[in-house]
């Protein structure tokens, strides 16, 4: 697609959007500055590294401290799929997690046909601020090892 045609399509899409979905000129100028200065790319690299470290720490901690559990999923994104140890149900673990101040969801809440997968949690590791990540991970391990 030619740049002229692409710009035309973008303008048409923007006109079709509700005003609440439009970005201000100032927002656009700030983003343009971040992109041209290279700061946006630097921030993306810093974020990827930080989240990769969190994911690695989650994987290692669960592998080392929770017998029968495993974590799967691709290395991209901010969530991992934690297969629960035998005998644990999603509802029980989600309930115990909530009692410990953790917000995790069972995989069945994402599945169209519940019951066609093993018991698992969808664990987001991007949400806790850095100072709270260690505590959240410790509480998750406590929940998973509690019977």
In the DSSP assignment, the letter for residue 108 is: G
Q: Which helix (H) or strand (E) holds 6?
A: helix 3-16
User: For residue 79, what pLDDT is reported?
Assistant: 92
Taking CA 55 as the corner, what is the angle to CA 51 and CA 57, rounded to the nearest 5 degrees? 115
**In the chain, domain spans:** 3-37, 47-145
User: pTM of whole model > 0.85?
Assistant: no
Q: In what order do the strands lie in the sheet with 79-83?
A: 70-72, 79-83, 120-124, 105-106
Distance, in Å, from the CA atom of 5 to the CA atom of 38, rounded to the nearest integer, reads 27
CATH 3.30.1220.10 fits 47-145, yes or no: no
User: For residue 60, what pLDDT is reported?
Assistant: 95
The mean pLDDT values, 10 residues at a time, for the chain of 147 residues are 84 74 84 95 94 93 94 85 91 95 90 71 89 94 90
User: For residue 102, what pLDDT is reported?
Assistant: 93
Distances (CA, A) of 69 to 5, 24, 49, 103, 109: 52, 47, 25, 18, 19
User: For residue 130, what pLDDT is reported?
Assistant: 87
User: For residue 114, what pLDDT is reported?
Assistant: 55
User: For residue 8, what pLDDT is reported?
Assistant: 85
User: For residue 19, what pLDDT is reported?
Assistant: 67
């Amino acid at each position: 697609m030619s740049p002229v045609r692409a710009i035309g399509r973008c303008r048409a899409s923007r006109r079709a959007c509700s005003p609440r979905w439009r970005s201000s000129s100032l927002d656009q100028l700030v983003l343009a500055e971040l992109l041209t200065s290279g700061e946006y790319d630097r921030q993306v690299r810093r974020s990827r590294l930080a989240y990769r470290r969190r994911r690695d720490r989650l994987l290692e901690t669960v592998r080392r401290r929770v017998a029968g559990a495993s974590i799967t999923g691709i290395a991209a994104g901010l969530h991992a799929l934690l297969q629960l140890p035998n005998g644990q149900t999603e509802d029980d673990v989600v309930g115990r997690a909530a009692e410990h101040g953790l917000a995790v969801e069972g995989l069945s809440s994402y599945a169209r046909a519940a019951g066609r997968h093993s018991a698992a949690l969808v664990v987001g590791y991007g949400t806790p601020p850095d100072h709270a990540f260690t505590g959240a991970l410790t509480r998750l391990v406590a929940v998973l090892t509690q019977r």
